[in-house]
Amino acid sequence: MLALGRRLAHAGFRILLYRRPGRPLPRSVDGPWAWPPIARIHRLAPRGSAALTVAPSWGVSAAPSRAGAFGRGGAWEEEARDIEAAYGPDRTIHVSLEEFARTGTALAETRERLREGGVAARALRARLRAAERAGEVETFRRAFRRFRAFDRPNVLHLFATFGTAPAFVRQFPEAVLTGPLWPGRLRRNARTRPPTRSWVWYASPASAEAIGTEVARALGAVRPPVRLWIRTPRPWRSGDLGPHVAVETRPVSAARWRRRFADADVRIVTGSRTLLEAIEVGGPFLYFNGVLASGPRRRRHRPEKILAWLASPAVATAPAALRRDLADFARGRRVAAVVVRAVGRVDGWARFPGRSGSDFPPPFDDAGSLAVAVARALDRNLGDARAIVARVRARSPP
């Protein structure tokens, strides 16, 4: 949300945060975040002739209430209704930022639900067939269409990812796949001194401590030792990790985070935002989005983002040993060995893949560029919101 707000502001659009009087903001909206230039308003007084809204998963966060189970409207329902009433649905486009790299078909998502739920690999195929016979896959497909509000002709659903997903688009043709929404805020600092031998870890998964001791010991055992700065939003209960490890559990300013992140030799990241930050700043990184269970039943939590990156053109041709290291670390396997190999820059670590071109043609190669193009098209073609959305859904420039 903030990244797209910055892109739109940089393109010259006025950014407003509208909330009705007397309605508190949803939790976590206020940060601490590096906000773009923004005006907070409690009443609409239209100065322009059209409006473009931005919301995370509009069909969940801003859709109107409806009859039936789970029919309660989103947290921004009333504000979305007010904006459409003020400008008109033909002069309003709702940009819906969907979850990054989550582009599986109903069948694939059902399989992933079963895998993450604990179904063993040897039993997964039979359990998936049973789910199909029981109607679970079709139930997911219908629910996904409903709760993404694909029926709304002025909602533009952007699914940012690293590569094409033809089966997903065939099943949900209203979905618009794009290249990533890059943060655009991090650049590697020019080094005028020897490397600091420091790592940064954004350890937000609850299971980060499951591998924390292995990471700390491996970095402490190399010579000279590597310093590790762990940023986590939760208490860290693993005890002393050694003299070369610092754990920060309090909020960190955006400037401090950018400085630490850019100066690190290696970054351990999670989710989508820090993954994209690591790719953007360049250089080696590891990815860990958490694990469930332990021992032979240990399995990755929500691995679609690292899998999409590993399958991207920039990484598909990287050395097999490097790809194995990245995949195993994401599973919480061979942790100490992978850390030592990353420090030593062996087997591909010295030539870590960089940011590459996208599988999508401009402006679809960059979610921010596409959103700016849509906003400009709406500004030029007032009253044409639905036609603009239809063109973009058809994979044509707005």
pLDDT tens per residue, range 11-32: 999 999 999 999 999 988 887 7
Q: What's the CATH number where 244 sits?
A: 3.40.50
187 pLDDT band, cuts 50/70/90, is low
Out of 26-40, 63-77, 142-156, 379-393, least confident range: 26-40
Q: Are residues 275 and 173 in the same domain?
A: no
How confident is the prediction for the chain on average, in pLDDT? 93
188 has pLDDT over 80: no
Residue 196's pLDDT is what?
A: 65
Q: Are residues 31 and 174 in the same domain?
A: yes
Half-sphere exposure of 315 (CA within 13 A, CB side): 21
Q: Are residues 61 and 157 in the same domain?
A: yes
**Is 104 domain-assigned?**
no
**Is 114 domain-assigned?**
no
Q: Are residues 341 and 314 in the same domain?
A: yes
383 pLDDT band, cuts 50/70/90, is confident
Strand partners, 177: 159
- Tell me which residue range forms the domain holding 170: 2-98+148-180+360-393
Mean pLDDT of 289-306: 91
Q: Are residues 264 and 290 in the same domain?
A: yes
Mean pLDDT of 256-261: 91
Residue 382's pLDDT is what?
A: 85
186 has pLDDT over 80: no
Strand partners, 292: 299
**Is 128 domain-assigned?**
no
Number of domains in the chain: 2
User: In this structure, are residues 237 and 209 in contact, taking their beta carbons and an 8 Å threshold?
Assistant: yes
**Residue whose C-alpha is closest to residue 214's, from 329, 322, 321, 349:** 329
**Is 282 domain-assigned?**
yes
190 has pLDDT over 50: no
For residue 232, which phi and psi values (nearest 5 degrees)?
A: -140, 145
Do the bridges between strand 299-300 and strand 291-292 make them parallel or antiparallel, or are there none, so unpaired? Answer: antiparallel
Residue 254's pLDDT is what?
A: 83
Q: Are residues 225 and 253 in the same domain?
A: yes
**Is 117 domain-assigned?**
no
**Is 307 domain-assigned?**
yes
Mean pLDDT of 375-382: 93
Q: Are residues 172 and 216 in the same domain?
A: no
Determine the Cα–Cα distance for residues 374 and 371; give it in Å rounded to an integer. 5
48 pLDDT band, cuts 50/70/90, is confident
Mean pLDDT of 270-276: 95
Q: Are residues 158 and 275 in the same domain?
A: no
Buried b (16+ CB within 10 A) or exposed e, 237-257: eeeebeebbebbeeeeeeeeb
Share of the chain above pLDDT 70, in %: 97
9 has pLDDT over 60: yes
193 has pLDDT over 70: no
How open is the CA angle 275-276-279, to the nearest 5 degrees?
Answer: 90
Q: Are residues 370 and 330 in the same domain?
A: no
398 has pLDDT over 70: yes
Determine the Cα–Cα distance for residues 50 and 90; give it in Å rounded to an integer. 9
**Is 377 domain-assigned?**
yes
Q: Are residues 340 and 364 in the same domain?
A: no
pTM over 0.75: yes
- Please name the residue ranges forming H helices in 265-359: 273-281, 304-310, 313-316, 320-331, 335-344
Strand partners, 156: 95
189 pLDDT band, cuts 50/70/90, is low
Q: Are residues 27 and 94 in the same domain?
A: yes
Q: Are residues 31 and 54 in the same domain?
A: yes
Q: Which residue has the tokens 């469930």?
A: 292
**Is 388 domain-assigned?**
yes
